[in-house]
Chain A
């Protein structure tokens, strides 16, 4: 990369490679993530998208929103197809960034074997998992990424069972276990962190994995305007942790000053509306374990008292946050 390191979003190029006029829902988290990845990666890339919301809203036949060469086949083979694209370019002696952008269904469940294969062979590609925590494209079915307690059409709310009974699969650990050169988790609310990680992914050779939490307005039953705020709260509550593993070296890239009770996160989303106090405590206990795992810090259950007079999260002054 010839241009200097981009440190803040002020340094980001203006040129869009994911253009206006795509058909995503208003407030779509996937669109925010994809659009900014495209800006940061720049002109020279080829993208593959399996069955997902992204393929539907980015390519309303005969138009397409990506300005990059663009391929689409089946649901389960993102890892395999991007390996193949890279091999074809190598054969032709062309150096280019090959990116696969799959949803959580196409990564956690259906595409896991192809992902594992590509990671195992250390293919020189970027794999992006756009995690909206259910199969949203087909109308909100539960996936391995759906959090505990969440309503989906296949984990409905009934008299005996309310929402999903299993906790979210730790995909980051699965990918890290392959010993890939670079993997990171991203949030659309932590702009500069996002920028740094996508840039790093572009530089590194070998298999790179970016895992992004992308709020889904209809699936999470949330307000369109709150997609970014929810992402931020996910990090502050510990539902989502921001870290990277760069050639074996694990590093936290952002640590909340204080753990916000998960209740605040749940309240913003209709998919958790039914949750009983008992279930919330169960989820909270799970988060506290996760918190301990990532931040090496014990949090008693139930966690920290509700913060009184906490400032709006958006104005905090962490250098990695915002601008």
Chain B
């Protein structure tokens, strides 16, 4: 049994990647399954998907807790999730990163393939959807499935769902990624992020399962406690505020879905980058171009 766990963000196509990989395995004569983690995923939120490959029929249906291979579609997930949790010894990693494997700190020292999939995706399919590029990198580090089958699976899956042209562009992305992937060994100095284990049990809740605003074990629960979810890690581009151009019309303040724009006493604005998801509405509604979107996660 060969098990792969995908870590990505909603909208990057982790589920499609898992499905394409499973299909490639089937083309190679294996049995395979692929499925997503079932949760309340939103675009930009951390998501997981799974793929299992075996020579015999697969009867196990659970999530994958001890993968042979990790496919990480977004490097920033390392800071907020215990991504490398459960990785088998001798396991391997594919990561979307601009760094070489030696500079990637995963928390465990393993064989690692790194590729700048975001740039490749922007180049080929003109959108930061990295699922197909990352599969090209997968073929480079792991020889269980050859590149040809992966490209065929991408053509089948994407071509069928999104049209022939999309299939061609996506398999081109995978081929390009295969060429540009760097294989090496990543570092293991990082301490894995701890998952928040605590949740109130039924007997801690008053009748009617109402949850009052209170702090338990240092965690705020109940009304207004969402401030603890720092959604700023979701963004791929960041708004920069040019105060000298600002006319204090407050359109951005009104239109920000996160409410992460602080309206100062004099009606100038200040961005709270801990929460900004980088949607770009503020820059779009600004009548005087006092806000510009810069690619990448920045703070000013």
- Chain B CB within 8 A of A217 CB: yes
17 A–B pairs (Cβ distance < 8 Å), ordered by A: A9-B251, A14-B263, A21-B227, A21-B228, A22-B226, A23-B42, A26-B43, A62-B199, A63-B229, A64-B223, A65-B224, A69-B223, A218-B43, A225-B293, A228-B285, A323-B249, A323-B251
Interface centre among A26, A29, A188 (most CB of B within 10 A): A26
How far is B281's CA from A26's CA once the two chains are assembled, in angstroms? 9
- Chain B CB within 8 A of A87 CB: no
In the complex, the 3 A-B pairs of residues with the closest C-beta atoms, listed nearest first = A225-B280, A26-B279, A31-B257
How far is B251's CA from A20's CA once the two chains are assembled, in angstroms? 18
Contact partners of A31 in chain B: CB under 8 A:
257-259
For the complex with contacts A21-B227, A65-B226, 20 further pairs of A-B residues with Cβ separation under 8 Å are A9-B253, A16-B259, A19-B259, A20-B272, A22-B231, A24-B42, A26-B235, A26-B278, A26-B280, A28-B257, A31-B257, A31-B258, A36-B254, A63-B220, A63-B229, A64-B221, A64-B222, A217-B279, A225-B279, A322-B251
Contact partners of B229 in chain A: CB under 8 A:
21-23, 60, 63
Of the candidates B224, B250, B256, the one whose C-beta lies within 8 Å of that of A32 is: B256
Which residues of B52-80 have CB atoms within 8 Å of chain A's CB atoms? Answer: none
* A122 → B minimal CB distance (Å): 28
- Chain B CB within 8 A of A282 CB: no
- Chain B CB within 8 A of A57 CB: yes
How far is B256's CA from A18's CA once the two chains are assembled, in angstroms? 12
- Chain B CB within 8 A of A58 CB: yes
* A38 → B minimal CB distance (Å): 9
Contact partners of A255 in chain B: CB under 8 A:
none
A227, B225: Cβ atoms closer than 8 Å: no
Interface string of A36-63 (1 = CB under 8 A from B): 1000000000000000000011111111
Q: Which residues of A contact B (CB under 8 A)?
A: 9-10, 12, 14, 16, 18-29, 31-32, 35-36, 56-70, 188, 191, 217-218, 223-229, 314-315, 322-323
Name B's interface SS.
Answer: loop
How far is B231's CA from A21's CA once the two chains are assembled, in angstroms? 6
A58, B226: Cβ atoms closer than 8 Å: yes
* B209 → A minimal CB distance (Å): 10
Interface centre among A20, A223, A314 (most CB of B within 10 A): A20
How far is B256's CA from A227's CA once the two chains are assembled, in angstroms? 10
Given contacts A226-B284, A322-B249, contact A64 B40 (CB under 8 A): no
B200, A218: Cβ atoms closer than 8 Å: no
- Chain A CB within 8 A of B7 CB: no
Contact partners of A64 in chain B: CB under 8 A:
211, 221-226
Contact partners of B226 in chain A: CB under 8 A:
19-22, 58-60, 63-65
* B99 → A minimal CB distance (Å): 25
* B162 → A minimal CB distance (Å): 11
Contact partners of A218 in chain B: CB under 8 A:
11, 43
- Chain A CB within 8 A of B294 CB: no
Contact partners of B290 in chain A: CB under 8 A:
none
How far is B258's CA from A36's CA once the two chains are assembled, in angstroms? 11
* B251 → A minimal CB distance (Å): 7
- Chain A CB within 8 A of B275 CB: yes
Interface centre among B40, B199, B230 (most CB of A within 10 A): B40
How far is B234's CA from A61's CA once the two chains are assembled, in angstroms? 19
* B272 → A minimal CB distance (Å): 7
* B173 → A minimal CB distance (Å): 20
How far is B289's CA from A314's CA once the two chains are assembled, in angstroms? 12
* B70 → A minimal CB distance (Å): 24
Interface centre among A32, A36, A61 (most CB of B within 10 A): A32
A67, B224: Cβ atoms closer than 8 Å: yes
B40 to chain A: closest residue by CB: A56
A20, B287: Cβ atoms closer than 8 Å: no
Contact partners of A224 in chain B: CB under 8 A:
279-281
Contact partners of B43 in chain A: CB under 8 A:
25-26, 217-218
* A89 → B minimal CB distance (Å): 15
- Chain A CB within 8 A of B193 CB: no
- Chain A CB within 8 A of B92 CB: no
A23, B260: Cβ atoms closer than 8 Å: no
Given contacts A23-B45, A57-B42, A69-B223, contact A63 B279 (CB under 8 A): no
How far is B224's CA from A31's CA once the two chains are assembled, in angstroms? 15
A32, B222: Cβ atoms closer than 8 Å: no
- Chain A CB within 8 A of B44 CB: yes
Given contacts A63-B221, A314-B285, contact A32 B255 (CB under 8 A): yes
Contact partners of B281 in chain A: CB under 8 A:
27, 32, 224-225, 227-228
